[in-house]
A and B are shown apart, each in its own frame.
Chain A
Amino acid sequence: MTKRRSPWLRLTALLIYGFLYAPILVLIIFAFNASRTNIIFKGVIAEQGPYRLEQDVVQSAPCGPFHWFCQLPNNRELVNAARNTLVIAFTSTLAATIIGTMAALALQRYHFPLKTFSEVSLYIPIVIPEIVMGISVLTLFSAVFSYLNTALPAASRLSLGLGTVIVSHIAFSVPFVALVVRARLHGFDRSVEEAAMDLGANEWITFWRVTLPLIAPGVLSGALLAFTLSLDDFIITFFTTGPGATTLPIYVYGLLRRITTPELNALSTLWILIVFTALSVSQLLQRRSA
């Protein structure tokens, strides 16, 4: 028997989804725009052939409709920004995953003074406005650097750059990893760890052979979350980045102030694809672990 639902419910749902996804859909469609100025949609580049431009409209290109995607690797600045972004995302994810997992394990298992306080303070970065965090991290770096640089030789002075971005990304990713791993640890049966120790495995072997394999889905989905957060981050990166450490979001923001070409849409489309895949995998892992 099917339950009768109000048609309004269906309509509302449809509108909400439309509201969420229409801009993304438009963005993707414009990635195939033949118009170079990308203000009006002038159709898809239909012809594959030598590059030919007429009145700012691409008539034919070697990659055909994927012209703007093919253009991406030719842009040195963009490639650099992409590389920086990936380096930052991978390193900060790795570090944040390790620290976050350790924090989750410690909070789950041990009772210690100020436990509630450390738990709450761990999660504060999740709710704090990003701009506040950006300013505070920048202030911290400036203070520490100005102090240290008086003692360091001129050649090895510290300054903002990839390193500072990575550190700040680790800082805002750790709470998310800890949160996801803790969810996985909730209801974790410690007797399997005791069983391993009882059978002769010391703490280290027990962790690698029993604990980690069992919480792996949570750790992985935490890592993927941290990865997508790092890929996307603009505000904190904006405050902590330095010369030569431009990331994709920063680069794109810079472009927007000048002109927008469909290249930007092509880049964004790839971006959405990567983030969407990472989030889907993270969700799947969490569901399987449940």
Chain B
Amino acid sequence: MAEFAVELRDVSKRFPGPSGEIVNAVREVTLQIKDGEFFSMLGPSGCGKTTSLRMIAGFELPTSGEVYIHGKPMGQTPPYQRPVNTVFQNYALFPHMTIGENVGFGLEMKGVPKAQRTARVQQALAMVRLPGYEARRSRQMSGGQQQRVALARALVNHPEVLLLDEPLGALDFKLRKEMQLELKRLQREVGITFVYVTHDQEEALTMSDRIAVMSGGRVLQVGPAFEIYERPNCRFVADFIGESNFLDATVQDVQGPTATVTLTGGLTVYANTDLSLTRGQAVTVAVRPEKVGLRPYEGAQNAFPGRVEEIVYIGTDTHYSVMLNGDQRLRVREQNEDPYSRPLANPGDAVTVYFDQAAARVLTE
């Protein structure tokens, strides 16, 4: 068994666009998805995540590069000869068949005898918590139920890899939360590699072992949720996953992991970096709003006076928009620990914002 369940090597896909132009949907993507991993491809619409997934499934063929499944190059292999199954965004259940026939379709195509098929369909439906639904039709079921059937229909074939194309996109918020946990449970139970496409960062962070963040047809960063969130490698990732303040700055000095930079307004910020920077280089400093505080604390390397411009109460937290002395705006997010959720400052108040050197990250891209 090869080391990787799925591997994309230098895969590109170009389409002719609606008015004759060439659309570069996927550009030289290289990805290695480990066996048994819950892997997510995350990005805004049009970033190439769905096209990448469709190339693994075989619905699209790469313009260049190669897709490998367990070490085997897929080449021109049609979808019906690939050891993968797909769960579609709109479920794509066969409306003219019963649920039992839907789930049993893959086994029927493989030539599994009827008796065995019935037993496995029953098992698969029980696994997605829809036991005894064989005789129903898809239009008699809710969106969440249809999605479970689509899952059962794919998993009953024991694919080597399960591909999921925004499977929860059409469900309402509560149900989506529920299905996220359900999917994670199923993945642990069956131990199959899941490749999950989503534009919902929270969904990706909740479920995935590793995430590939994509934009403009390229993979920008691959890593576990923690790494993607805490150590984004570029401005896009820092902005797309969660929230970030971006401060324009110039490098003053670098000593080990500590970079000293000057903001355009003249303030000096200590930030963490793992890049090789040169003095005078123009950079961006990214700071997460929740890692900045209005309450003073011991050992904060960065402390800047400013004035509150606006506050927004959002239940668990309150957002403060602070204009630092020197024309840089910083969003600060403070948890409402106070039993009456009294704000720490009001618009117009002079405040000091505090944050660690480790909370600030130097980005060059």
Contacts and interface: CB of A to CB of B under 8 A. Distances in A.
B265 to A, nearest CB: 52
B181 interface: no
Interface stretch (A89-97, A160-168, A194-202, A246-254): A194-202
Contact count band on A: 10 to 19
A214 interface: yes
A122 interface: no
A213 interface: yes
A191 B92 contact: yes
A205 B106 CA distance: 12
Nearest to A192: B92
B86 A194 contact: yes
B320 interface: no
A189 interface: yes
B92 A213 contact: no
B33 interface: no
A210 to B, nearest CB: 6
Determine which residue in A189, A191, A201 has the highest number of CB atoms from chain B within 10 A of its CB, and name it.
A191
Contact of B94 (A195, A197, A200): A195
Interface in A204-220: 205, 210, 213-214
B95 interface: yes
B88 interface: yes
Determine which residue in B57, B58, B84, B94 has the highest number of CB atoms from chain A within 10 A of its CB, and name it.
B94
Contact of A197 (B79, B90, B93, B154): B79
Contact count band on B: 20 to 34
A198 B96 contact: no
A194 B59 contact: yes
A200 B92 contact: no
A197 to B, nearest CB: 4
Contacts of A111: 16
B135 interface: no
A197 B78 contact: yes
Contacts of B93: 192, 195
A251 B232 CA distance: 84
A198 B94 contact: no
B157 A199 contact: yes
A195 B80 CA distance: 10
A210 B92 CA distance: 11
Given A201-B109, A202-B80, A205-B109, A196 B94 contact: yes
B111 to A, nearest CB: 9
Given A200-B80, A201-B80, A202-B80, A194 B88 contact: yes
A145 B244 CA distance: 80
Interface in A28-45: none
Nearest to A212: B96
A199 B58 CA distance: 12
B141 to A, nearest CB: 16
B41 to A, nearest CB: 18
Contact of B80 (A189, A192, A197, A213): A197
Contact of B96 (A195, A200, A213): A213
Nearest to A111: B16
B316 to A, nearest CB: 38
B95 A198 contact: no
Contacts of B246: none
Contacts of B86: 194-195, 198
Nearest to A205: B109
Given A189-B90, A194-B59, A200 B78 contact: no
Given A198-B57, A198-B85, A205-B109, A192 B94 contact: yes
Given A201-B80, A205-B109, A195 B95 contact: no
25 contacts: A189-B92, A191-B92, A192-B93, A194-B79, A194-B92, A195-B92, A196-B105, A197-B80, A198-B59, A198-B80, A198-B84, A198-B85, A198-B86, A198-B154, A199-B80, A199-B105, A199-B153, A199-B157, A200-B80, A200-B106, A200-B157, A202-B78, A202-B80, A210-B94, A214-B96
Given A191-B92, A202-B80, A213-B96, 5 more contacts: A192-B93, A195-B86, A195-B88, A196-B105, A197-B80
The 6 closest A-B pairs by CB, nearest first: A200-B109, A199-B106, A191-B92, A195-B92, A197-B79, A198-B86
